[in-house]
Amino acid sequence: MTDFAATRALFHLPPGVIYLDGNSLGPLPRAAEARAAAVIREQWGERLIRGWNDCEWMALPTRVGDRIARLVGAPAGSVITGDTLSIKLFQALAAAIALRPDRRVVLSDSGNFPSDLYIAQSLLDSLGQGHELRVVAPEAVADAIDDSVAVTMLTEVDYRTGRLHDMRALTASAHAAGAIALWDLAHSAGALPVDLAGADADFAVGCTYKYLNGGPGAPAFLYLAPRHAETARPILSGWLGHRAPFAFERDYAPAPGVERMRVGTPPVIALSVLDAALDVWDGVDMADVRAASIGLSQRFIAEVETRCPQLTLTSPRDPHARGSQVSVAHPQAYAVMQALIARGVIGDVRAPDLLRFGFTPLYLCEEEVVRAVAILADVLATGSWDRPEHHARAAVT
């Protein structure tokens, strides 16, 4: 059994805060703080450019990728880290489309994160070959998979509602129709068990600043199924995805395997911080995380439905049909959340009317969930959210 009291002790958690937003930005692992200082002072400061060899900076994208691979059911050597999720999605989608040159449809759903849809649309437009981004309701995806589809591009967990797609079944449907399956694990990695190899996914991408606690803007990851590793065509073919970057050859030739999806110089400090953040997962069983997260979210829903009649559940009620977050609707969601944050309970809002809460057993316990809902109930019952200061909009929600 995973010892969640022990994992909690690995984080810096500001006193007086109940943190229900680890689905958006994970808190600071103590080891990451120490690593950042050491990398900056001892590696960059003392080793200077020698650090590339002495400190093995160049190997960080694959070494950290292997640590993430373990958490998402991928074999070693199939995951690379670097860049942002939006960029990794662009690369994966471009490579996936190139594997189905005779097809013109990319299928996604309306619950997908806007960046994924924007990136896909701009990529398809730039190809200039008449590709179509077909966006259907999440519930309609299975029926929309047919033999016109080149790629299914789906995010497993809906960022607003937490609704969970059946990765195994949809991947099988995609393959049966001759399509490539690309999964976005932004709200899955570190939140619930993912079995990329078992589900037979072709490509996957994800970010590391949410449930993997890699810090704001932490590097993203990309999974390339070993069966495509020598055929997938890298788009954004930068020098560090070349098979011999320091030969400085005139023509591009892809590196073997997933390393071809590297682009440019790796973010050494950010990858080092992420590497240290991943220490938290040593000895953690993802099945335990899932069971505990379901316990927390079920308790949250039960408390909300008992104490907060002003709120409507917008997440699936069945815990097996959602990820590790719960959202509830309120017409004044923004102001309610500001009032809640002012009382030390941190979640976030998604326009127009969702209050969103993430459940992260690595550092969150049931007593805090109960206390958080008590504060939420008080904010709603007293109407304290309706003070002018809670209506002032910040740039980032």
Ligand X SMILES: *Cc1c(COP(=O)(O)O)cnc(C)c1O
Stretch that binds ligand X, among 81-89, 222-230, 321-329, 360-368 (CB under 6 A): 81-89
- Is there binding between residue 84 and ligand X (CB under 6 A)? yes
Q: Quote the CA–CA distance of 19 and 16 in Å, as a whole number.
A: 10
- Cα torsion 332, 334, 337, 339: sign: negative
Does 171 belong to an annotated binding site? no
Helical axes 30-38 vs 268-277, angle rounded to 10°: 150
Q: Which of 91, 108, 155, 325 binds ligand X (CB under 6 A)?
A: 155
Looking at 207, 280, 286, 372, which residue binds ligand X (CB under 6 A)? Answer: 207
211 binds ligand X (CB under 6 A): no
2 is in an annotated binding site: no
Nearer to ligand X, 220 or 263 (CB): 220
| Phi and psi, residue 261, nearest 5° | -90, 5
Residue 377's identity, in one-letter code, is A
Residue 85 is labelled as binding a ligand: yes
Residues 186, 194, 369, 380: which binds ligand X (CB under 6 A)? 186
Q: Is 210 known to be catalytic?
A: yes
Q: Least separation, in Å, of the C-beta of 207 and ligand X?
A: 5
Q: Is 155 annotated as a binding residue?
A: yes
187 annotated to a ligand binding site: yes
Q: Of the two residues 204 and 224, which places its CB atom closer to ligand X in the complex?
A: 204
Among 20, 79, 80, 85, binds ligand X (CB under 6 A): 85
Cβ-based nearer residue to ligand X, 392 or 394: 394
Cβ atoms of 70 and 204 closer than 8 Å: no
Q: How many residues bind ligand X (CB under 6 A)?
A: 13
Burial annotation 119-140 (CB, 10 A radius, 16+ → b, else e): bbbebbeeeeeebebebeebee
Is 202 catalytic? The answer is no
**Comparing C-alpha atoms, which of 182, 222, 200, 223 is closest to residue 99?**
182
- Contact between 156 and ligand X by CB under 6 A: the answer reads no
E strand map for 207-329: 221-224, 312-313, 325-329
Query: Among 302, 324, 289, which residue's Cα sits nearest to residue 163?
Result: 324
Please tell me whether residue 208 binds ligand X under the rule CB under 6 A: no
Q: Which residues pair with 118 in a beta bridge?
A: none
Which residues within the stretch 98-117 sit at the binding site for ligand X (CB under 6 A)?
113, 115-116
Residue 228 as a binder of ligand X (CB under 6 A): the answer is no
Q: Shortest Cβ distance from residue 230 to ligand X (Å)?
A: 27
Other CB atoms within 10 A of residue 347 CB:
26
Instruction: Name the minimum Å distance from CB 129 to ligand X.
Output: 25
For ligand X, which residue of 131, 163, 187, 260 counts as binding (CB under 6 A)?
A: 187
Q: Is the distance from CB of 10 to CB of 3 less than 8 angstroms?
A: no
**Residue 375 burial (10 A CB sphere; 0-12, 13-18, 19+):** middle
Chain center to CA of 187: 4
Catalytic residue chosen out of the listed positions 11, 113, 159, 211: 113
Please report whether residue 397 would count as binding ligand X according to CB under 6 A.
Answer: no
| Sign of the alpha-carbon torsion through 243, 72, 190, 303 | positive
b/e sequence 14-35, b meaning 16+ C-beta within 10 Å: eeeebbbbbbbbbbbbebbeeb
Q: Is 108 annotated as a binding residue?
A: no
Q: State the Cα–Cα distance between residues 317 and 329, nearest whole angstrom.
A: 14
Only segment of 79-87, 170-178, 328-336, 347-355 that touches ligand X (CB under 6 A):
79-87
- Told to judge if 356 belongs to the known catalytic residues of this protein, a careful annotator would answer yes
User: Can 184 be counted among the known catalytic residues?
Assistant: yes
90 in contact with ligand X (CB under 6 A)? no
Q: Which is nearer to ligand X, 155 or 327 (CB)?
A: 155
Among 209, 211, 223, 363, which one carries the catalytic annotation? 209
Residue numbers annotated as active site = 113, 184, 209-210, 356
User: Binding residues for ligand X, per CB under 6 A?
Assistant: 84-86, 113, 115-116, 155, 159, 184, 186-187, 207, 220
The binding site comprises 85-86, 113-116, 155, 184, 187, 209, 239, 265
